[in-house]
Amino acid sequence: MSQVSEQLASAETDFLLFSQTICPYCTRAERTLDAHGFTYTEVNLDHYEGLREDVVAETRHRTVPVVFDLRGDEPVFVGGSDNLLEYL
């Protein structure tokens, strides 16, 4: 099981957000989810060896944040901060 799959399986919230420490777009995504009343798990890529590479390999999304919607039966890859605004 990949690190991404492990994070997706262990999150018990509405959304999963892969972020980095200094990231204004990550902050914007968090504020958007908060404003809509959604719960989310934030996983900081700076703290996990190799996770960033796994995220890029699985999503082809090279920037942060990387957002997944976990509310359905299967996780849905949303994209980044702009994609999240359109998605909601």
Among all chains, which residue has been given the structure tokens 């590479």? 53
Q: What is the pLDDT of residues 55-73, one digit of tens each?
A: 999 999 999 999 999 999 9
- What pLDDT score was predicted for residue 12? 92
Query: Mean pLDDT throughout 79-85?
Result: 95
Domain ranges of the chain: 3-87
Rounded Cα gap, residues 61 and 19, in angstroms: 12
Q: Which CATH class is domain 3-87?
A: alpha beta
Q: Is the pLDDT of residue 35 over 70?
A: yes
pTM comes to 0.93
Q: Is the pLDDT of residue 1 over 70?
A: no
Q: What is the pLDDT of residues 40-58, one digit of tens each?
A: 999 999 998 889 999 999 9
Q: Find the angle CA(28)-CA(3)-CA(58) to the nearest 5 degrees.
A: 70
